[in-house]
């Protein structure tokens, strides 16, 4: 039997546009896929009814950049990227050599993400193979949709966290066990960033991703010192993005985080390759990394999603990330909301499955109380509702979370 969710329903229909049904019906088929979205009128039969009124029903968020082992080292303030990694992040990731520590972090991360309205996440584990398996197992148990990768490093990082080309066979094994499982779980080969990877590792990661059809995640041009280091490691005649491109790392399945210190040529390169950007404005504030220019990436047609980037980002909430996006670029609340949903789905290559309420997509959605002082009805303005949610202190939290048509929280 179909399930009919009656509520004020809102979703993004374009990069800067929203559709709104003050009294709407989202119909979900028995497989958890969306059958239809429209006005409630005339919908009183043909399925089991969930009456959420007077609440708001929105698509689940897609967090395109998140680090599981960093959840308990948020707020280590006052350092820039490379020193912060050495002082706080590598020690926290080393602790995940202990399987129970890694598993516990993954479990808590997924619960906190869903509690803030995120139904899909692209998450880095620690470098350890067992940490990746544990994260997949926890994601499967939690019901969240996830792209997961264990970051590879074979230089300029502590020796015990290095795993070079030899580690790729184990990564391919992770991929063979999890890629595409239940239509919810996906593996990403994850050369951490050019500073920590030799040319051999970058090339072999790209080749493994090509062979297995898996995604690639990495960081790009987040910090000026990092960019200088890449120039000295790889030769000064190529940009950071061009370095990745030269090793075959940029393609439609590639998600690069940050992309702050990039040129128009780099943007064009990313767009032509079909690679997408995880924009992490809260993290960029925290590490004083700089300001990403959304307009330039837009001009070249780069797909942009949003990332909390916990633990450089302090919050699990993409609502708070949207707020910081609006503080750093003159965009509308509708654009921020679209970036957190549609944009993220496109960035992770999941546009055929999630991102809005088009028919046949998976029913990933959250139910929110209407912000104080507003009502959700046919007369309400959706941009006003979204803005009030974005500027809710502490990040608006859903009261229900559904993934694939199944209630999770
Ligand atoms: N660049 C390489 N690794 C990291 C990381 O863990 N966090 C951030 N923000 N940038 C990185
Ligand atoms: Zn990161």
Q: Write the pLDDT tens digit of every residue in 366-393.
A: 999 999 999 998 889 999 999 999 999 9
**Closest residue (by CA) to atom 3 of ligand 1?**
192
Q: Are residues 147 and 267 both part of a single domain? A: yes
Its domain, for residue 97, covers: 61-347
Specify whether the CB–CB gap between 262 and 224 falls below 8 A. no
Q: Which of 397, 290, 311, 286 lies closest to 90, judged by CA?
A: 311
Q: Tell how far the Cα of 27 is from the centroid of ligand 1, in angstroms.
A: 40
Which of the 8 DSSP states describes residue 359?
T
Of 307, 329, 347, which residue is a domain's last?
347
Quick one: tokens of 22?
A: 């003050």
Which of 66, 196, 312 to mutate to test ligand 1, by most ligand atoms within 8 A of the CB atom? 312
Q: Write the pLDDT tens digit of every residue in 304-328.
A: 999 999 999 999 999 999 999 999 9
Quick one: tokens of 359?
A: 């028919």
- What CATH number should be reported for the domain holding residue 382? 2.30.40.10
Q: Write the pLDDT tens digit of every residue in 204-237.
A: 999 999 999 999 999 999 999 999 999 999 998 8
Q: Write the pLDDT tens digit of every residue in 57-108.
A: 999 999 999 999 999 999 999 999 999 999 999 999 999 999 999 999 999 9
Q: Are residues 244 and 291 both part of a single domain? A: yes
Q: How many residues does the chain have?
A: 409
Distance in angstroms (rounded) separating the CA atoms of residues 246 and 230: 14
Residue listed under structure tokens 């995640």: 217
- pLDDT at position 156: 98
Q: Are residues 232 and 268 both part of a single domain? A: yes
Q: Are residues 51 and 65 both part of a single domain? A: no
Which of the 8 DSSP states describes residue 30?
T
Which of 67, 86, 310 to mutate to test ligand 1, by most ligand atoms within 8 A of the CB atom? 67
DSSP SS3 for 5: strand
> Cβ of 400: how many Cβ atoms within 10 Å?
16
Return the ligand number nearest the Cα of 256: 2
**Closest residue (by CA) to atom 11 of ligand 1?**
219
Q: Write the pLDDT tens digit of every residue in 269-301.
A: 999 999 999 999 999 999 999 999 999 999 999
- pLDDT at position 144: 98
Q: Are residues 234 and 361 both part of a single domain? A: no
Distance in angstroms (rounded) separating the CA atoms of residues 253 and 216: 6
Specify whether the CB–CB gap between 281 and 313 falls below 8 A. no
Q: Are residues 150 and 122 both part of a single domain? A: yes
* Lining residues, ligand 1, CB within 6 Å: 67, 81, 85, 89, 192-193, 219, 222, 283, 309, 312
Q: Are residues 291 and 370 both part of a single domain? A: no
Q: Write the pLDDT tens digit of every residue in 109-121.
A: 999 999 999 999 9
Q: Provide the number of structural domains found in the chain.
A: 2
Of 328, 347, 366, which residue is a domain's last?
347
Specify whether the CB–CB gap between 40 and 23 falls below 8 A. yes
Q: Are residues 257 and 403 both part of a single domain? A: no
Q: Are residues 33 and 71 both part of a single domain? A: no
- pLDDT at position 135: 99
Return the ligand number nearest the Cα of 79: 1
> Cβ of 142: how many Cβ atoms within 10 Å?
19
Q: What is the pTM of this model?
A: 0.98
| 17-24: long-range pairs with CB below 8 Å, 24+ | 17/334, 17/338, 18/334, 18/337, 18/338, 18/382, 18/383, 18/386, 20/380, 20/382, 22/376, 22/377, 22/378, 22/379, 22/380, 23/53, 23/377, 23/378, 24/57
Of 314, 347, 380, which residue is a domain's last?
347
Q: Which of 178, 124, 141, 119 lies closest to 354, judged by CA?
A: 119
Q: What is the mean pLDDT of residues 139-150?
A: 98
Quick one: tokens of 314?
A: 């302090």
Q: Are residues 48 and 148 both part of a single domain? A: no
Q: Are residues 269 and 168 both part of a single domain? A: yes
Q: Which of 131, 49, 119 lies closest to 356, judged by CA?
A: 119
- What CATH number should be reported for the domain holding residue 327? 3.20.20.140
- pLDDT at position 352: 98
Quick one: tokens of 207?
A: 């080749």
Q: For the chain, how far is it from start to end, CA to CA, in angstroms?
A: 22
Specify whether the CB–CB gap between 123 and 147 falls below 8 A. yes
Q: Tell how far the Cα of 253 is from the centroid of ligand 1, in angstroms.
A: 20
Q: Tell how far the Cα of 282 is from the centroid of ligand 2, in angstroms.
A: 12
**Closest residue (by CA) to atom 8 of ligand 1?**
312
All residues at 6 or more sequence positions from 309 whose CB lies less than 8 Å from its CB, including other chains: 65, 66, 67, 257, 278, 280, 282, 283
Which of 193, 195, 229, 244 to mutate to test ligand 1, by most ligand atoms within 8 A of the CB atom? 193
Q: Are residues 227 and 190 both part of a single domain? A: yes
């Amino acid at each position: 039997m179909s399930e009919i969710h009656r509520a004020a329903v809102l979703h993004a229909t374009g990069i800067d546009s929203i559709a709104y049904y003050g009294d709407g019906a989202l119909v979900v088929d028995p497989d958890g896929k969306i059958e239809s979205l429209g006005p409630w009128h005339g919908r009183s039969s043909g399925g089991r009814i969930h009456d959420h009124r007077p609440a708001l029903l929105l698509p689940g968020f897609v967090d395109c950049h998140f680090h599981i082992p960093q959840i308990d080292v948020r707020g280590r303030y006052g350092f820039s990227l490379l020193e912060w990694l050495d002082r706080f992040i590598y020690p926290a990731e080393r602790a995940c050599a202990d399987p129970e520590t890694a598993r516990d972090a993954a479990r808590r991360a997924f619960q906190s993400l869903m509690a803030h309205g995120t139904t899909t996440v692209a998450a880095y584990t620690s470098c350890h193979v067992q940490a990746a398996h544990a994260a997949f197992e926890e994601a499967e148990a939690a019901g969240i949709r996830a792209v997961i990768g264990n970051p590879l490093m074979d230089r300029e990082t502590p020796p015990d966290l290095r795993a070079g080309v030899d580690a790729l066979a184990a990564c391919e094994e992770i991929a063979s066990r999890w890629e595409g499982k239940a239509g919810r779980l996906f593996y990403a080969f994850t050369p951490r960033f050019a500073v920590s990877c030799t040319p051999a590792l970058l090339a072999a990661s790209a080749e493994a991703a090509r062979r297995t059809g898996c995604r690639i995640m990495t960081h790009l041009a987040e910090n000026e010192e990092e960019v200088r280091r890449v120039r000295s490691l790889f030769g000064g005649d190529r940009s950071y993005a061009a370095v990745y491109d030269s090793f075959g790392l940029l393609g439609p399945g590639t998600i690069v985080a940050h992309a702050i210190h990039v040129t128009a040529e780099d943007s064009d390169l990313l767009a032509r390759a079909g690679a997408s950007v995880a924009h992490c404005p809260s993290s960029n504030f925290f590490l004083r990394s700089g300001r990403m220019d959304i307009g330039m990436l837009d001009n070249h047609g780069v797909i942009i999603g949003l990332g909390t980037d916990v633990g450089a980002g302090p919050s699990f909430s993409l609502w708070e990330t949207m707020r910081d996006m609006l503080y750093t670029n003159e965009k509308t609340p509708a654009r921020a909301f679209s970036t957190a949903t549609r944009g993220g789905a496109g960035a992770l290559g999941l546009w055929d499955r999630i991102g809005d309420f088009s028919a046949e997509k998976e029913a990933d959605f959250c139910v929110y109380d209407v912000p104080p002082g507003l009502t959700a009805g046919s007369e309400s303005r959706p941009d006003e509702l979204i803005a009030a949610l974005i500027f809710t202190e502490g990040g608006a939290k859903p009261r229900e979370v559904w993934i694939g048509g199944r209630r999770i929280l």
